[in-house]
Amino acid sequence: GKETALETLSLFVQETEDRLKLLRKLSGDAYRSKIEREAHSLKSAAGTFGLRAVAQLARALERDAAHITASDYLALLDRIEAAFSAARMQYLAPVCTENQIRR
């Protein structure tokens, strides 16, 4: 029902915020496979919720994780975060109240 859907949406938002924080912490060659896995998970989750821009950017990160430069990585993370923020305001906020989606 509606309550379960809102809980699922809230969980998605929280997990996405956590994943973006983790991606910010990961850098360097030692974490390339982890970055690729996290980008894959983000791409899939964003696609499930219809956040195409986020999914496309996450797909690019997944694809490029093995060879992306540090500056390009940070720039792509900026774009992913901006797309998620915009989608959250445009699509997710009208569906839920502030208390239902944790910030």
Q: What token pair was written down for 49?
A: 């919720």
* 38 neighbors 19 (Cβ within 8 angstroms): yes
Distance between CA 32 and CA 90 in Å, rounded? 32
- Of residues 59 and 97, more confidently modeled: 59
For the cut 90, the answer to whether the pLDDT of residue 92 exceeds it is no
Burial class (CB in 10 A: 0-12, 13-18, 19+), 53: middle
The per-residue pLDDT of the chain, averaged, comes to 89
Distance between CA 87 and CA 92 in Å, rounded? 7
Mean pLDDT computed over 80-95: 84
What is residue 5's predicted lDDT score, i.e. its pLDDT?
81
